[in-house]
Structure 1
Amino acid sequence: MVLDLSTIDFIDSSGLGALVQVTKLSQNKQGSVQIVTNPRVTQTVKLVRLEKFLHLHNSLAEAIAATTEG
């Protein structure tokens, strides 16, 4: 699954919690969630130290490519 958050200006703890839940559910089904982000969203994700758990990408093409890897 690819989520394009590149136009989002703000993400709060509820939004981050939802991303974590979706990612966990996807992993339980042997899937993955790739997230297209922007500097503001990336900064927030890094602030709460989720950048290693959430798969962040700078472009839609990069995120789509990641879905076909491995």
Structure 2
Amino acid sequence: MTVSLRGTREVKKNCQVFHLLGQLDAFSEPTFQRVILSYTKESANQIILDLSQIDFIDSSGLGALVRIAKHMDGIKGKMQIVSNPRVTQTVKMVRLEKFLNLKNSLDEALKDI
């Protein structure tokens, strides 16, 4: 069995940063969403999802990102996504780039905290 999504978490400037790599798809989405939401309930209300190393994202992954973004709005938090060309293209196809707050680099996202 292979793991389609792996990641690490760190805290920078009072913000939780999740570095993810692999595939954000129907297989990995339930665990991804559960883990991210569990961290937003226990501490900082600012998160950065570093998806710059994501190889593939499908509609399930996009749905999870939208649900997490809505959750963050609901708790008056902020979510930013560090993207790559593949993720950006997928997000733009469904016209969610502004809603999902895409950034080109981690540095750019950290400056916007």
Give the TM-score, by structure 2 length: 0.58
Instruction: Name which structure has the greater RCO, CA cutoff 8 Å, separation 6+.
Output: 1
Specify the alignment match of 1:7 in structure 2. Answer: 53
CA RMSD of aligned residues (A): 0.7
Matched positions, count: 67
Runs of 4+ displaced beyond 2 Å: none
Which structure is higher in strand share?
A: 2
Residue identity over aligned pairs, in percent, reads 66
Could you report, residue by residue, the CA deviation over 1:27-65 in whole angstroms, capped at 9, with x for unpaired residues? 111111100000110000000111121100010011111
TM-score where L is the length of structure 1: 0.91
- Which one has the largest radius of gyration? 2
Structure 1 unaligned spans of 5+: none
Structure 2 residue runs without a partner (length 5+):
1-46
Match of 1:47 among 67, 70, 93: 93
Residue 26 (str. 1) matches residue 72 (str. 2): yes
